[in-house]
Amino acid sequence: MTTDKASVPKDPSKQPETQVTPDSQVILYDYDPTRSQSMPLKLFDRFKGYMQTDAYEGYGAVCRADELNSVGCMTHARRKRDEALEAQRSVDPYKQKSAMAASALRQIRALYRIEREIKQLPTEENLAVRLERAAPLLKEFRRWLDTNILIVPPRSTLGKAMNYLDKQWDKLTVYTMDGRLRIDYNLCENAVRPFVMGRKSWLFAASVEGANASASLHSILETAKANGHVPHSYIPHVLTRLPATQLLDESEALLPINVQPEKWLAA
């Protein structure tokens, strides 16, 4: 995945040791006071590739505008099934709808079982296994959905879960067509969690400038963690070298994706 905004150092001799590649893990926070679709349109302007999100329609505009491949999150579908199962168990004396919800969960768990088995495989092998094993399961799951969605009240908890799955189906199955993709975006949610937990303690940002500063700091910290750095060691490494930089290329060389931990920790 690439973006036209990637900067190219003018002096080849001062290029960072490690260049950004599709395998680079970058975690970026950005502050905006609203949840309007104008925010993703601005943030992902000219980006090309896949965009994996929940069902929030605010991301739909940027996918349409830049012709991005939209990928869904199976975890969200599974959560709705969990909620439906718990709700039906408490109100369904004949357990018919509970059995339906449980059946859906079993099919989703089977898909996740495959993902656990192949997560260490190379991209090409990952894709081959998904096409061989996950794709048939999804076809069977689709037939089950088409049959049962007609007999479940759409306003019930299970009905809402089924309608979510039906509307998101194309996005939820895209991951089987590219070995680089994931079945869900749990990695993103895990990266957001520290910020959200901290926000509960901070209560609020005192200003827009403070919110932007916090977003920048967390972007660096979480990207450092994603690339194998120990934050309390990486930050001193950057702060001691940053005052000596004069060019943008020199500053970019200190980014977490351009620093190899084992080299500077041993220095």
Clarify whether residues 148 and 89 are in a common domain.
Answer: yes
Q: Which amino acid is at 263?
A: K
pLDDT (0 to 100) of residue 142: 95
Model confidence pLDDT, tens digit, residues 9-45 = 444 444 444 455 666 788 888 888 877 778 888 888 8
Q: What is the pLDDT at residue 221?
A: 87
Q: What is the pLDDT of residue 174?
A: 94
Token code pair at residue 7: 């900067």
Residues 79 and 171 in one domain: yes
Look at residue 189 and tell me if it is in a domain: no
The answer to whether the beta carbons of residues 118 and 189 sit under 8 Å apart is no
pLDDT (0 to 100) of residue 97? 56
Residues 6+ apart with CB under 8 A from 204: none
For the record, the structure tokens of 67 come out as 């012709």
Q: Are 162 and 131 in a shared domain? A: yes
Q: How many CB atoms lie within 10 A of CB 265?
A: 12
Domain closes at, from 177, 195, 217: 177
Please report the pLDDT score of residue 103 as a whole number: 84
The answer to whether residues 80 and 173 belong to one domain is yes
Q: Is residue 199 part of a domain?
A: no
- Residue 26 corresponds to which tokens in the numbers above? 């970058």
Whether 170 is in a domain gets the answer yes
Q: Which tens digits make up the pLDDT trace of 36-88?
A: 778 888 888 888 889 988 878 778 888 888 888 999 999 888 887 777 666 66
Q: How far apart are CA 103 and CA 35, in angstroms?
A: 35
Considering only CA atoms, which of 28, 33, 29, 27 is closest in space to residue 204?
33
3-state DSSP assignment of residue 39:
helix
Tell me, what's the pLDDT at 22? 61
CA distance to 84, 200, 205, per residue, from 80 (Å): 6, 25, 32
Q: Are residues 109 and 142 in the same domain?
A: yes
Are both 65 and 91 inside the same structural domain? no
Domain annotation covers residue 186: no
Domain membership of residue 182 (yes or no) is: no
Residue 263 confidence (pLDDT): 60
* 38 and 102 part of one domain: no
Together in a domain, 140 and 87: yes
pLDDT of amino acid 25: 80
Do 146 and 138 touch, CB atoms closer than 8 A? no
Q: Classify residue 246: in a domain, yes or no.
A: yes
Q: pLDDT below 50 — which residues of the chain? A: 1-18, 94, 266-267
Domain contains 190: no
What is the count of structural domains for the chain?
3
- Residue 26 belongs to some domain of the structure: no
pTM over 0.95: no
Residues 134 and 145 in one domain: yes
Write the DSSP string, 103-160. Answer: HHHHHHHHHHHHHHHHTTS-HHHHHHHIIIIIHHHHHHHHHHHHHHTTTS-TTSHHHH
Q: Are residues 94 and 157 in the same domain?
A: yes
pLDDT at residue number 231? 87
Tokens describing residue 70: 């939209």
Q: What confidence score (pLDDT) does residue 9 get?
A: 40
86 lies in the same domain as 172: yes
Measured CA to CA, the distance from residue 155 to residue 55 in angstroms comes to: 18
**Residue 170 and residue 132 in one domain:** yes
Q: Which residues pair with 48 in a beta bridge?
A: 2
Q: Domain range spanning residue 57?
A: 32-71
Query: How confident is the model at residue 222, as a pLDDT?
Result: 87
Angle between the N-to-C axes of helices 135-148 and 96-118, in degrees from 0 to 180, rounded to the nearest 10: 160
